[in-house]
Chains A and B, each alone.
Chain A
């Protein structure tokens, strides 16, 4: 079982991203379940969604408390929300940011970091800061859990049409290509 928690703000598409990732994993023959967190969702407020994937049928229909990976689609969120809560030791952070690694907020548990200037790219592609498909590309690049090709097919099968689809395919590919992956070396505690 591989568990992912998405962090974003209302309107950035974190819930949609989890569903699109589930669809891509399904394309690859895996089992996937996604569940949104339940709040009074409103634009700009912190939101969370969850995704589980496995080679076997997934029975738990619950939230995720100890994720293998965090995908944070908003660069300012880590200041206001403890996005690292429960992250497994050596876990992965895929973070939207234009900052270098040294300036990114991390926790002790983080072992792998994928950084993508998703806002900057989104402003070029969409003229708006919509980062969710970009960050799916960044996730694929950072973890290899899903292929870029499966994500593309998932987008093509989704409700995206025409110009919107073309833009999102560009965003996905740029997210994949322009993500820098860092392995965090930590001294093992004595």
Chain B
């Protein structure tokens, strides 16, 4: 990390911040340090490794006061953190791909136990075929396990969102684990200019740090944790349903909390990230393309060029993917007459991208209220480290524009098929 003493650019900032240059993985580690966790557990895996190396260095250098557990595998990593969370600690880890797969049993348990653990997924494509590069397949594969999942567009957003994730997870109306997803390779190793908030300012944002009594075990305040439920008799079914409904309520509550926390972040630090759904040049657009994660930067440049060329196209970006922000997305979808959705992973069951599949649910809601179906199509690109460039997005824009006059293709368009 190198530092420079520059004034923050453009608009006036509520708080003066140091400008640094760092990669996405380091930005995540710095965000973790600012949030002051009590305990982290780690196991390295490409492309997450430099993130946990930065965390370990911050602790070794005395810049982060947390216990670190160098566990023997990802299953142990998350199991150890469950113990920490149940002792009332603020806890953190990061993983991806095969590591997330190995973690699956405690991963499911974490959301069921309502433990507000924050975990970065440095997203990586699924194996096999063998590959060590980025893609959203890992995070998408676990999108139905009750974790809140947010995706970052820039290195700055990685840092800021990592801090915010702790506040969202620990909010008493949420009490759920949160995944901050950052794109393996393009964001994890992408080095960029970042404004680093002051620790005191972040402390004020996070509020008074105390034992989290919503989860902490205490002999003076006994509570049952993870009791045997279910089956078909006694109070089994109703208690199981109570657990699941509680999780669903927490997920729905998180939509409001994510918005509130982003709003407070903007007030304190001057960076205003769309919490759920971002619109870019959508007003006056006839059609839109939809993106997720770091691909969005190139997409915005392509939108600017297309607009300059007279095309009436805009962009919708999801930041929050789980819970799926249906209401916020509907507000954006009502503005356009055709939609192209770009996924960085594969939905095997529907032969389309997973985000497209989820969006079809929102499109059904839209059709019910408007009486007509919004033409849409699925694009899949950027798998296993492949690039999605401005040129690719021009192809997406052209194909989506054709939906206004023609029929929608039933097959997805694979952007890197000839790369």
In the complex formed, the residue of B with least CB distance to A51 is: B191
Give the distance to chain B from A113, nearest Cβ to Cβ, in Å: 28
In the assembled complex, A97 has its CB within 8 A of some CB on chain B: no
Query: Known interface pairs A19-B191, A65-B389. Does A59 touch B19 (Cβ–Cβ under 8 Å)?
Result: no
Enumerate chain A interface residues (CB-CB to B < 8 A): 18-19, 22-23, 26-27, 29, 31-36, 38, 40, 58-63, 65, 154, 157-158
In the complex formed, the residue of A with least CB distance to B389 is: A62
With A19-B191, A33-B191 already in contact, 15 other A-B pairs whose C-beta atoms are closer than 8 Å: A27-B4, A31-B193, A33-B190, A33-B192, A35-B191, A38-B385, A58-B297, A60-B301, A60-B389, A62-B186, A62-B297, A62-B388, A63-B387, A65-B389, A158-B2
The residue that A36 contacts in the complex, of B19, B189, B193, with Cβ under 8 A, is B189
List the count of A-B residue pairs having beta carbons below 8 Å apart.
Answer: 76
A60 B297 Cβ-Cβ under 8 A: yes
Complex A-B, nearest 6 residue pairs according to Cβ-Cβ distance, in ascending order: A59-B297, A157-B2, A23-B2, A34-B191, A61-B294, A60-B298
Inter-chain CA distance A59–B317, complex, in Å, is: 14
Q: Which residues of A contact B387 (CB under 8 A)?
A: 62-63
Inter-chain CA distance A19–B24, complex, in Å, is: 13
Q: Which residues of A contact B111 (CB under 8 A)?
A: none
Give the distance to chain A from B275, nearest Cβ to Cβ, in Å: 19
The residue that A26 contacts in the complex, of B132, B193, B298, B390, with Cβ under 8 A, is B193
The residue that A19 contacts in the complex, of B6, B21, B132, B183, with Cβ under 8 A, is B21
Q: Which residues of A contact B6 (CB under 8 A)?
A: 26, 29
Query: Known interface pairs A61-B294, A154-B2. Does A34 touch B190 (Cβ–Cβ under 8 Å)?
Result: yes
In the assembled complex, B300 has its CB within 8 A of some CB on chain A: yes
A32 B186 Cβ-Cβ under 8 A: no
Inter-chain CA distance A63–B387, complex, in Å, is: 7
In the assembled complex, B162 has its CB within 8 A of some CB on chain A: no
In the assembled complex, B133 has its CB within 8 A of some CB on chain A: yes
Q: What are 26 residue pairs bridging A and B, where the CB atoms are less than 8 Å apart in the complex?
A: A19-B21, A19-B191, A22-B21, A22-B192, A23-B21, A26-B21, A27-B4, A32-B21, A32-B193, A33-B193, A34-B190, A35-B186, A35-B191, A36-B189, A38-B47, A38-B133, A38-B189, A58-B297, A61-B192, A61-B297, A62-B389, A62-B390, A63-B387, A63-B389, A157-B3, A158-B2
Q: Which residues of B contact A26 (CB under 8 A)?
A: 2, 4, 6, 19, 21, 193
| Most chain A Cβ neighbours within 10 Å, of B21, B187, B387 | B21
